[in-house]
Amino acid sequence: MNIVLGVAGGIAAYKACHVVRLLKEQGHSVRVVPTEAALKFVGAPTWEALSGQPVATDVFDRVEEVQHVNVGHGADLVIVAPATADLLARARAGMGNDMLTATLLVTTCPVVYVPAMHTEMWLNPATQDNVATLRDRGAHVMEPASGRLTGADSGPGRLPEPADIVEYALSKAGETPPVGNHALAGTRVLISAGGTREPLDPVRYLGNRSSGKQGVALAQVALELGAHVTVCAANIASDVLEPIRGRATIVPVETTAELHEQCVAHGEKSDLIIMAAAVADYRPAEIAEHKMKKSGDDGMTLSLVQNPDILKDLVARFGDTKNIVGFAAETGTADDTPETLAQQKLLRKGCRALVFNSVAQGAVFGDDATSVIVYERHGSQVRELVRASGSKQEVSRVVMESVAQLLPS
């Protein structure tokens, strides 16, 4: 594995030398990218001797090799240890004014930040907000250890031990075998979750009752089964996302168009796509520039246009190269039961399988319990794969384990 080890300017930089050694002993290629401040603690010759690779700190170093782009492009994992308060702030702001931050901007591989700083810096609201934002964007931020800091101070903010850093970082790159059932080990899973919102004006929107709990529960189970998980999160509250924060890549979206764009982009890199989000079928033809006011007693007429059919488009784009699972929340009609409508949807969309639940009288949305039927498509035929009832976590486990059986060995 090609690993970039970023080193920020803190006294804990000396511990990063041991991180390099441990990674090299495990057979990984390590490229050290220190900041200028880091070189005041450990010099470039030390990093080059330990890694066996040249060190660059400035975006203008070896310009002919386009290092500020190529180093990040070639990485399978980026670790920043220590990650100082300054580095976390610059990474959150998307700055690229040195080799390390430029690398962070261009890389698409897992990124692990290992903070090290004084307790007051770590607990400062600005730092905590920066960490939360980086986690929301899909980065992994390891919790600092507690103990003796520089001088006589003690508290949270100490750099974890090198062996713990290596174990944590490699696990985020899929190097640590999952414990127990690992039916999805190494599988790249994309899950859409939550409910899209279509703005009417700067204040109002058309939306639905979805909380995103089911999609997040599916992501939790997929992680436990060893998958690399990306969640396109449509308007999901922060507390609902907390169980997967720092473990899954979270891509926040608001509208159906945004969800469509992100699902296409991340679907390209996924082996399994699960469309659990409640998607708005229509959006306003026009969005009012200002808050709409009452115009009398005659009410209001809204003109709506149809949104893209995300599930059908993904099936059309990826065909049999991806395993795509849809969701159907049905209430039934005077002519058809909810189950019949779900089976018809599976055939109409053309996806591999579909998870059905009844939402009559607003059931399921926001609740902690649910009941589902998983249908599998065989050509023009539909068969029931499994039924499950219970907490959304329990149901998600049944769904994910049944879906895992559909994947190639």
Cα angle, residue 353 at apex, residues 109 and 332 outer, rounded to 5°: 125
Is residue 136 a known part of a binding site?
Answer: no
Query: Is the distance from CB of 234 to CB of 194 less than 8 angstroms?
Result: yes
Is residue 311 a known part of a binding site?
Answer: yes
Is residue 281 a known part of a binding site?
Answer: yes
Candidate list 2, 124, 181, 208, residue with the active-site label: 208
Is residue 308 a known part of a binding site?
Answer: yes
Query: Is the distance from CB of 272 to CB of 323 less than 8 angstroms?
Result: yes
Q: Buried (b) or exposed (e) across 72-111, using 16+ Cβ within 10 A?
A: beebbbbbbbbbbbbbbebbbeeebebbbbbbbeebebbb
Is residue 314 a known part of a binding site?
Answer: no
List the structure tokens of 42: 């450990």
Residue 205 CB contacts under 8 Å (≥ 6 apart), including other chains: 197, 198, 199
Is residue 291 a known part of a binding site?
Answer: yes
| Strand ranges in 196-309 using DSSP code E only, listed in sequence order | 198-199, 205-206, 228-234, 249-253, 272-275, 282-284, 304-306
Residue 194: phi and psi, rounded to 5, are: 90, -160
Residue 130 annotated in active site: no
Is residue 250 a known part of a binding site?
Answer: no
Binding site per annotation, positions = 281, 291, 308-311, 327, 345, 349
Residues with catalytic roles = 208
Binding site per annotation, positions for CTP = 281, 291, 308-311, 327, 345, 349
